Amino acid sequence: MTRVALVLFLAASSAGAWQEAKPGKLPDAAEINAILHRLSDITGFRIRRQLPFQLITRDQINDYVKKQIKHSVNPKDIYAEELSLRKLGFVTADFDLRQTTIDLLTEQAAAFYDFHQKKLFISDWAASSMREEALVHELAHALADQNFNIEKYLNKDPADAEESLARQTVVEGQASWLTLEYTARQAGKTISDAATAQQYFRHDVEPDDQQYPVFSRAPLYLRATMLFPYEEGENFQQAVVQHDGQSAFAIVFAKPPVSTSQVLHPDRYFAKIMPVIPELPKPTPDMKAAIQGVFGEEDVEVMLRQYTSIPLAQGLAPGMVGGRYRIDRNRKTVKGEKEQHTSLVFATEWDSEDSAVAFLNAYQSVIEKKWKRVDSGDHDALHISGKSEDGYYRVERRGKMVLSREGFSGKL
């Protein structure tokens, strides 16, 4: 996937999401410097300059998010992302990615560090109840940015969704890990110890529906994508710290993971196991390639969770070694149609033929549920076919690869 709006916004700033509140006062320069020094002791990063910070209102945050998206994201990219999400079944036809992103980030941004301005912003509605852990999280970003150019790091290749999310996970995961470590050290402990880590790590905790109504109503894919860098990032940073000690904090910036698979399975990161990019068939003569993207383990896990079951998703997704999709568009506009017809070509590569068979069977459920009307056709160990309101589809297993072609005007 491309994750255009969300990733490119976060490349400019890092929102302090999922932070609850407790009574307190706005931090001053002395408190900020004290926290930075403690974080420097943990990471070995140098404090290179004084950190400016200011209060910001909810309206100002809303305006800030809109400006970031306007300046950072081409409207064509937003459209491409929306179309990709619809074709792959992650959102409904009327989904508005731009507005949902603005609403989500406005709701979540209790505090954020701007990597471009090199400045910390604290929301005025949260200032009087700012938790120390929220401040530590954002200051961890600031300290990392003083030692590495995080804006450049996040923007290396925004078109590669897997690498973009993996790098975002490094940034947020390290800050989340350091927030827990900071708290543990205040109690004379360290989460680099596995037993202690179990006491501090929080898993499968989503924001409260009443406190975060926009998040609770968002499609599963967006919710999972927003939570992934925090939850899985903590686990990844923990694995690298246990593997490399204090040097781990710099290593993940010098040698970042390249896929969500490497994040979810750090042994693959250490072994430098790269994702496979399946080969897609060329567009049919009447079509031309319009949108292309990679598809990773986190993507397939969310897809299977949405349309099958959590146990199947968690059991099958790790077996995918790479994925890729393309959306083709009619070369000529058909008279009377508001927009050109599009079709999806989607391939996943698996670690075994058994896994490929299991995905072929699971993908039938995806197709039957992501469209409103489906007329199922043939189905055997090697393929499934049929027709939906989007057009004809055919899904084939070719050894360890599963190739799906969907939305065609005639049988394949």
pLDDT of residue 25: 59
Q: How many CA atoms lie within 13 A of 69 on its CB side?
A: 24
How far apart CA 82 and CA 97 sit, in angstroms, is 6
pLDDT at 129: 46
Q: How far is CA 78 from CA 3, 37, 156, 265, in A?
A: 9, 40, 19, 30
The predicted structure's pLDDT at residue 171? 96
Rounded Cα gap, residues 203 and 181, in angstroms = 16
Which of these, 348, 367, 345, 347, lies nearest to 288 by C-alpha position? Answer: 345
Report yes or no: 68 and 12 within 8 Å, Cβ to Cβ: yes
pLDDT tens digit string along 43-52?
A: 999 999 988 8
At 232, the amino acid letter reads E
Please give the pLDDT value at position 204: 57
> What's the rounded Cα separation, in Å, for the pair 230 and 201?
11
Phi first, then psi, for residue 204 (nearest 5°) are 55, 40
For residue 172, how many other CB atoms are within 10 A of its CB?
Answer: 28
First to last CA, the chain: 25
User: Exposed (0-12), middle (13-18) or buried (19+): which is 410, by Cβ within 10 Å?
Assistant: exposed
CA 228, 90, 163, 108 torsion-angle sign: negative
Distance CA 348, CA 329 (A): 21
Identify the DSSP state of 335. T
User: Which residues of the chain have a pLDDT value below 50?
Assistant: 2, 4-13, 15-24, 127-129
Could you list the beta-strand ranges (E) of 8-71: 13-15, 53-56
The pLDDT score that the predictor gives to residue 208 is: 60
Q: The sheet that has 342-350: what strands, in order across it? A: 287-294, 320-330, 342-350, 401-408, 391-398, 383-388, 374-379
Tell me the C-alpha distance between 110 and 125, whole Å.
8
Name the residue among 253, 330, 263, 323 with its Cα closest to residue 295: 323
CB burial of 232-245 (b: ≥16 within 10 Å; e: otherwise) equals: bbbbbbbbbbeeee
Q: What is the pLDDT of residue 17?
A: 43
Model pLDDT, residue 126: 56
Q: How far apart are CA 367 and CA 237, in angstroms?
A: 36
